[in-house]
Structures are given as C-alpha cells and as structure tokens.
Structure 1
Amino acid sequence: MSSTTRNGDTTFTTPSDREIVITRSFDAPRELVFAAFTQPEHLPNWMGPAIFTMVTCEIDLRVGGTYRWAWSGSDGAVMAMGGTYLEVSPPERIVAVESFDDFPGETRNTIVFTEQDGRTTATVTVLYDSPEARDATLASGMKDGMTEGYERLEELLRSLA
C-alpha cells in the first residue's frame, strides 16, 4: 500500500490510501523555517509554482484562526484555498483543515518541524476525505508544484539567514 517517491530533495510517501506525507529538510534553524511557513511577508516569496503569483496571503495564526491564500497565473487563472487552524505550537507543529475553492472536499494537514544540527525537517501529513481525492491530488502536478516551492523556500531561507 505504501509508496515513496523523491522529487529532487523532497520526498512524497503514501502510507495509507488517504494520506500523502511530504518531507523536506532545510539548512536553517527551526524558528526560521516555522516563520517562513507562517508569516505573510514570507509565504508569497516561495509558496506555489513560480508561474503563479500569490495575490492574497491572510493568516490569523491561532487556534480557531483562519487563513486564506490565492494565486494568479499569467493566463489569468486563479487558484485559491483556505482553512482553519486546529493546533498551533510554535515552532514545532501546526494542524489545520484546508480546502481549495475549485477542488471538492477538505483535508487535515499536520506540519511538524524538527531540528537537528541546525537543519530543520518539515514533515507535512495531508489526510484526505477519500482515496479518490488523494489520488486526484497526486495526479494534479502537486509533487512538481510543491518541490518547486520548496526549492524557492531554500533560497529564501539562505537570504534570511
């Protein structure tokens, strides 16, 4: 059932028929990586494929708080999503529910940040409503988009260090 693929330095694992686990290590301290994942001044610089520009980045980082992100493509296409934070434990863990405007269903996302020897590993576990929703996401180009975003994050972290 479980499968693992690597896309550059990013690892994608499917431990169950409803989950995707994305793992990437960054050469930066945990507090800085956590900030890059949670602060509106950082997210537009890395999150998402480079062909999209983040045009909305609203974050209320607290339990019960919400977030809203939207990207615009050069062709005018818009991709938007939002969610609610269920758990916020800086700089260790975030749990949120999330949904895309144009994709059915909701996911439960858990991000865990662990640091060892100045390197931080971000482990994102995405739990889908159904196996079909997970499989549709895998087929959507999500791996390439996330990998590209994480490569941009690596560059941002170097500039912030």
Structure 2
Amino acid sequence: MTRRELGDAATTVVAEGSDLLIERVFAAPRELVWTAMTTAEHLARWIGPHGTTTEVVELDLRPGGRWKWINGEVAFLGEYLEVDPPKRLVRTTAPEQGPPGPPAVETITFEEVDGGTRVHWLTTFPSPDVLDFAVSTGMAMGIVEQYERLAGLLAQG
C-alpha cells in the first residue's frame, strides 16, 4: 500500500489503502467546532473549495438521520450512524450520482488540545480504487481549502 501525503502545513491529508485521514487543529473550543461542522447554516459557509457555494438540503443530526448537500453541481448524501456531541460523529457518504456500491464511512472525532480542537476525520472508502478515483478528482486540494474556510469561520466566532 502506498502512503500519499496530500495536505499542507496546516492540514494533514494522507491516503493509504482504502483510508483517507484528514487532521487539523483549529484555534476554537470543541463545542464551537462541533457546531460549525454539524449545523446547516454553518456548513453552507465552509464546505467545499474556495469559490464554491453549498446548499444544505437535509440535515437530520441523529443516528439513522439523513443528510444531503449540494456543492456546485455535485450532490453528496448519507446517513448518520453515531452522534455523540461534541466528541464523535460517524456517517456514511457518497456522491448522489456515484457508482453503485457501498458508501464510504466517515468517523470524525473532536479532541480538546491546548488552545483549540483537533479534528481527526477518517474516511474509509469501499476499496483502494474508489479512494484513488476520489483523490484523482482533486479532492485533497478541496479538503485543504474547505478547512481554510472553516478556520476563517471559526476565527469570526
């Protein structure tokens, strides 16, 4: 398995096997980071690369609840599997017009660290090939840019 470092100085993005790991420390309290990452009004302001807009169509934040947002011309959707505010979130995710097969599973943890919150976001894709395809679309740069947008939103309080 080849390990690929795809992030920048602020945001770690590592692809290996079927897993994509994203990690960043935000200079904000854990509850604020949780809120920014789990409410429609805030998600719409930072999800996606620079210059894109996101419409949050559905967000039912509970186990079994569904979510869907549209970024540019691509819709993403899934189901919440675990919701443990403000510590942990597990959900499925897939593009609405994606290939058939199982969705990816995202496990996002929020850890208090000195002066902020470490977000550890692990996405397990159905196979290494599906991860390779996602990475080939420019996903890693989009992740770095959306985390820059999130950091800016958090800095505003």
Common fold: TM-score over 0.5: yes
* Cross-structure match for 1:75: none
**Over 6 Å off, 4+ runs:** none
Contact residue 7 and residue 140 of structure 2 kept, 8 A: no
Superposed CA RMSD in Å reads: 1.3
* Cross-structure match for 1:31: 31
Return the TM-score normalized by structure 1. 0.90
Return the TM-score normalized by structure 2. 0.92
* Cross-structure match for 2:146: 149
**Partner letter of residue 96 of structure 2?**
D
Residues 1:19 and 2:40 aligned together: no
How far off its partner does 1:12 sit? 1.2
3-state secondary structure, aligned to 2:156: helix
Which residue among 80, 85, 96 is the counterpart of 2:80? 85
Instruction: Report 1:107-126 matches (<5 A).
Output: 107-126=104-123
**Partner letter of residue 85 of structure 1?**
Y
3-state secondary structure, aligned to 1:6: coil
How far off its partner does 1:52 sit? 1.8
Distance (Å, rounded) in 2 between the aligned partners of 1:143 and 1:71: 15
Count of aligned pairs between the two proteins: 154
1:24-61: CA deviations, max 9, x gaps? Answer: 11000110001000011101111101232112342110
Segments of structure 1 that go 5 or more residues without pairing to the other structure are: 73-77
Segments of structure 2 that go 5 or more residues without pairing to the other structure are: none
